[in-house]
Structure 1
């Protein structure tokens, strides 16, 4: 009896570890982009190509891994994927030219995308074993991992540690954590098929709609990373130090409120939580832009982070539990659309800003957040 209680607890810590190392791996790569650019003598276009390689690897892997997860179980996929993701840091770390860097980043993106789908699917399984909301905390630990990876990267750069040495040490640490965590994952869950509903084939409209909601949220998240500092510096004419505060506040609020997300969804339910969060994000950012003042803008970015924090976990939760027999494929589709929002968001904002101004461009994520609030019933448990 005691073992039945302990196993889900250990599995929860194991999934937490995977979310953390996945964020840390991405933060490690991001922190050393300037050093890699300098070491290889890359121009801005080549750096953009490198970033695209990571995204392409992730999206391509997500299209295949969903079927593997549903066929073999998330635990059997997650263990090897964690090791592949860790080892794939070595190629970009020791790359001597652009082609090797691109191959390494394609592999890194593929490993990252595979782990992303598998760990989110396993998170659904662990949550079902608990019988209470715990998914939001996993996503919070992804943010913590990203901050940890970026922080260690900044220290490595400050200490003039070479990218190859830095990436090798991080890869070894991440692989070690992955090996320890895989032993505590839950065994494969055999979904109970409904006798009244035929097995679903293809992508259902409900999953597509959840993917669109993930896309809307990711547009906002990507836009904050690229455009909030420029809005404060160029439009509101703040100093570079003040301009950096906007995205820092947004990220911090998102991480903090993701830790509160499980408590909030247990009290309010997913529909009410997503509706409130979308309203806070949309109105907070919109009012901050309308007031056209640095303090108002920073507060608006903070409210936008608070609002977005709990939406994506609930969207993933709805997708992963819609049909347990194909959680991997459903989460893969939603993740792919969400990743598309991260890529497309900054570009769309830039295009709109070039036609009008940046204030109008940043109003788009605010409007999309309000649309998410109106679409909150889509995350209602089936």
Structure 2
């Protein structure tokens, strides 16, 4: 059945995602520290495919919310696990590779939107669509299991220490949160922007161009960091986000929006991979727990972004609501500077 939600109602449904993700925080960190990272990665990903199918078969608001909660909860489990695997694997290399891992994730998003476009054009039901995606994901999960790293459990730093936030992790978390608001909001609203503001019939163009440039940027980000350094890469990312959003909302035409969304995708791409890589160097927490904490900020931002845009769009209009992305991008500059000042202080101590 079609729910026919308005912008505010859709935003409320999407709010179930950060709740499920936050519920997964203590569990994901505990699982990674107790069973290494590949066990929760495989189990979490398998359950995630079931939750996806459940979303497609939901026929009332209650089952839809439950399905969305389960989907975000299991996404949290495998998200922490796979990033812990990536940090552990990077230790075997003499160069940074975290950005490339996230580039493959973005590439998956591109294939996802292309596949979804085909399903829409062919009139395939959402139930059949999600079952096909889940089946492919399960096959890949089983195939990948034997290739995952073993015995990556850290001996210390596996518990969250309550009290005053660690500035090292806190600054990284805020940076990830700001970037994730842009990323999550663009995931869910870029297509709607093309549909409602630009009146484009094939509205998936907005999401597709965003994801394409995000993937390209992530594959290039490791090389960019090697040339200009992480502090300047954060500033470059912020500049691209602000410039891209300004183009899209000030001159709302097809090509300016395409260029603008390209810049936003390019700008947001490197922020979270850099933050995860830096979190893995924490002296207070193990890589798995540090990534889990940073992911709390990033996933919360990624999943709060869509409902926030929905509420603002309902109160004002969609163009006005996209100003939030520009503000978040701008704030990346001072917060990242505070992080590197603090990092330098720790290194000098």
TM-score range, shorter chain: 0.7 to 0.9
Shift of 1:209: 2.0
Contact 2:32 2:40 in 1 (8 A): yes
Would you say 1:363 and 2:323 are equivalent positions?
yes
Counterpart Cα distance in 1 of 2:58 and 2:193: 35
1:187 match: secondary structure: coil
Matched, 1:188 2:151: yes
Does the 8 A contact of 1:217 with 1:369 survive in 2? yes
Unaligned runs of 5+ in 2: none
How big is the shift at 1:106? 2.9
Aligned to 1:249: 209
CA offset digits 1:181-203 (Å, max 9, x no partner): 12111222354769xxxx98235
- Cα 1:294–1:181 shift into 2, 3 Å: closer
Q: CA RMSD in A?
A: 3.4
Q: Which residue among 150, 170, 173 is the counterpart of 1:208?
A: 170
Q: In 1, Cα distance between the equivalents of 2:217 and 2:173?
A: 22
What is the rounded CA distance, in whole Å, between the counterparts of 1:232 and 1:75 in structure 2? 39
Aligned mates of 1:120, 1:110 — CA distance in 2: 16
- Length-normalised TM-score, structure 1: 0.74
Please state how far the C-alpha of 1:299 moved relative to its aligned partner: 2.5
TM-score, structure 2 length as denominator? 0.80
Alignment of 1:105 onto 2:65: no
Counterparts of residues 1-382 of structure 1 (less than 5 Å): 37-38=1-2, 42-44=3-5, 51-95=14-58, 97-189=60-152, 191=154, 201-202=161-162, 203-225=165-187, 228=190, 238-241=198-201, 245-286=205-246, 289-290=249-250, 295-323=255-283, 325-349=285-309, 361-377=321-337, 378=339
In 2: Cα distance, 1:349 partner to 1:105 partner: 18
Question: Is the Cα–Cα contact under 8 Å of residues 81 and 114 in structure 1 kept in the other structure?
Answer: yes
105-114 vs 256-265, greater mean Cα deviation: 105-114
Instruction: Give the number of the structure with larger relative contact order, counting CA–CA contacts within 8 Å between residues 6 or more apart.
Output: 2
314-323 vs 121-130, which moves further: 314-323
Count of aligned positions: 337
Contact 1:74 1:121 in 2 (8 A): yes
Give the 3 Å change call, closer, same or farther, for CA 81–353 of structure 1 in structure 2: closer
After superposing the two structures, state which structure 1 stretch, 116-125 or 369-378, moved more. 369-378
> 1-side partners of 2:294 and 2:185: how far apart?
19
Deviation at 1:281, TM superposition (A): 2.2
CA distance in 2, matches of 1:135, 1:81: 21
Give the Cα–Cα distance (whole angstroms) in 2 for the partners of residues 153 and 146 of structure 1.
10
Please tell me whether the aligned partners of residues 285 and 366 of structure 1 are also in contact (alpha carbons under 8 angstroms).
Answer: yes
Do the aligned partners of 2:21 and 2:300 also contact (CA within 8 Å) in 1?
A: no
Shift in Å at residue 223 of structure 1?
3.4
